[in-house]
């Protein structure tokens, strides 16, 4: 890597860490800016709106999604505003993202997935993730002290957006959960790897993927679909969307309201004219 690029990227990393941005955001911004600096070649700190527009156009031509291009733009803005200290406004609008509905698994499909897992610890991981609407990063980061089996609550700490929230422990898993954590210390991870320590994101995803295949479900589902299904099923049960928003930790209720389109009972009651 070009030494000058490396110097600029180190400045970005330092500033992101000072501001407590998540490791995922840090990785995304550094990746985006490395691409941008390589495109620009020199004078990285000189703001030129046409350079930015042409870079984003090139990304689009190479097949980068609207979401990826918007991350690139956010990273570039962060660099010029917070590292270079530019006052000039970067008046470039974000790309319009596709508003596709989330993939949701039915209650029966969730049951099939859980039943297909023979490893009790792996099965419990999937049950906790679905039953509390957890992201994969949240479920693998759970420590014993974060769970209150008596109150049926999980305290999610410093998750996406550096926020804490309280979510649910399914009553039906309490016995298995207490059995798993009985001999653990309060600071131990609930789901440890074979060698001890935190389970990897990829391992948790693989547990879900294998269970999906084994259950014979053909939907294009990922681990995150457990969270989508949690939200959708709560809304189907009549839980107020504002409570679902709190359980998911969404900043904006519009993010939660997308699930109302998946679960709209009025649409299901309409019969086709054919």
The active-site residue, picked from 40, 122, 227, 233, is 227
Structure confidence at residue 265 as a pLDDT band (50, 70, 90): low
Report whether pLDDT(121) > 90.
Answer: yes
Asked whether residue 270 is domain-assigned, the answer is no
Report whether pLDDT(189) > 70.
Answer: yes
Average of per-residue pLDDT values in the chain: 90
Q: What is the pLDDT of residue 233?
A: 93
| Helix boundaries (H) for the chain | 3-18, 23-40, 49-61, 66-78, 107-115, 120-132, 136-140, 174-181, 201-215, 225-236, 241-248, 253-262, 265-268
Percentage of the chain beyond pLDDT 90 is 69
- 259 part of the active site: yes
Give CA angle at 44 (41, 46), nearest 5°: 125
| Helix boundaries (H) for 42-198 | 49-61, 66-78, 107-115, 120-132, 136-140, 174-181
- 227 part of the active site: yes
Q: What is the pLDDT of residue 5?
A: 92
Instruction: Report whether 133 contacts 227 (CB < 8 A).
Output: yes
The active-site residue, picked from 35, 40, 122, 135, is 135
Residues 114 and 184 in one domain: yes
Asked whether residue 8 is domain-assigned, the answer is yes
Residues 56 and 120 in one domain: no
CATH code for position 261: 1.10.443.10
Nearest-CA neighbor of 197 among 208, 187, 212, 209? 187
The domain in which residue 40 lies consists of: 3-84
Query: Which range has the worst mean pLDDT, 73-82, 226-235, 263-272?
Result: 263-272
Report whether pLDDT(209) > 80.
Answer: yes
Residues 122 and 255 in one domain: yes
For residue range 131-143, what is the model confidence (pLDDT) as tens digits? Answer: 999 999 999 999 9
Q: Is the pTM of this model over 0.85?
A: no
Asked whether residue 272 is domain-assigned, the answer is no
Q: What is the pLDDT of residue 211?
A: 96
Report whether pLDDT(99) > 80.
Answer: no
For residue range 144-184, what is the model confidence (pLDDT) as tens digits? Answer: 999 998 899 999 987 776 788 999 999 999 999 999 998 89
Q: What is the pLDDT of residue 264?
A: 67
Residues 246 and 129 in one domain: yes
Give CA angle at 128 (104, 208), nearest 5°: 55
Structure confidence at residue 83 as a pLDDT band (50, 70, 90): very high
Residues 75 and 201 in one domain: no
Residues 80 and 118 in one domain: no
Residues 248 and 112 in one domain: yes
Asked whether residue 227 is domain-assigned, the answer is yes
Asked whether residue 99 is domain-assigned, the answer is no
The active-site residue, picked from 29, 130, 189, 259, is 259
Asked whether residue 102 is domain-assigned, the answer is no
Residues 158 and 40 in one domain: no
Query: Which range has the worst mean pLDDT, 36-40, 57-61, 141-145, 159-163?
Result: 159-163
- 224 part of the active site: yes
Residues 133 and 168 in one domain: yes
Taking CA atoms, 62 is separated from 33, 66, 75, in Å, by 17, 12, 19
Distance CA 180, CA 245 (A): 30
Report whether pLDDT(271) > 80.
Answer: no
Report whether pLDDT(80) > 90.
Answer: yes
Residues 129 and 261 in one domain: yes
Residues 24 and 122 in one domain: no
Residues 217 and 163 in one domain: yes
Instruction: Report whether 133 contacts 215 (CB < 8 A).
Output: no
The active-site residue, picked from 13, 77, 143, 160, is 160
Q: What is the pLDDT of residue 106?
A: 92
């Amino acid at each position: 890597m070009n030494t000058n690029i490396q110097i600029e990227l180190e400045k970005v990393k330092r500033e992101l860490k000072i501001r407590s941005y998540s490791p995922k955001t840090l990785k995304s911004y550094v990746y985006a800016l490395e691409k941008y600096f390589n495109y620009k070649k020199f004078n990285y700190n000189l703001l030129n709106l046409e350079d930015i527009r042409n870079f984003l156009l090139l990304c689009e031509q190479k097949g980068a999604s609207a979401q990826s291009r918007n991350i690139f733009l956010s990273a570039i803005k962060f660099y010029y505003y917070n590292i270079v200290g530019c006052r000039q406004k970067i008046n470039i609008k974000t790309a319009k993202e596709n508003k596709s509905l989330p993939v949701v698994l039915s209650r029966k499909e969730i049951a099939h997935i859980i039943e297909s897992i023979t490893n009790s610890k792996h099965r419990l991981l999937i049950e906790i993730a679905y039953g509390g609407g957890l992201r994969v990063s949240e479920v693998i980061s759970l420590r014993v002290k974060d769970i209150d089996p008596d109150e049926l609550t999980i305290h999610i700490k410093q998750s996406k957006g550096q926020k804490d929230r309280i979510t649910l422990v399914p009553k039906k898993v309490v016995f298995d959960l207490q059995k798993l954590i009985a001999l653990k210390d309060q600071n131990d991870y609930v789901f440890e790897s074979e060698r001890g320590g935190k389970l990897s994101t990829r391992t948790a995803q693989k547990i879900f993927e294998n269970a999906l295949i084994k259950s014979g479900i053909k939907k294009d589902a990922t681990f995150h679909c457990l969270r989508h299904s949690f939200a959708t099923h709560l809304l189907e049960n009549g839980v107020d969307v504002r409570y679902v928003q709190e359980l998911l930790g969404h900043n904006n209720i519009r993010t939660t309201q997308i699930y109302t389109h998946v679960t709209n009972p009025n649409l299901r009651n309409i019969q086709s004219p054919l």
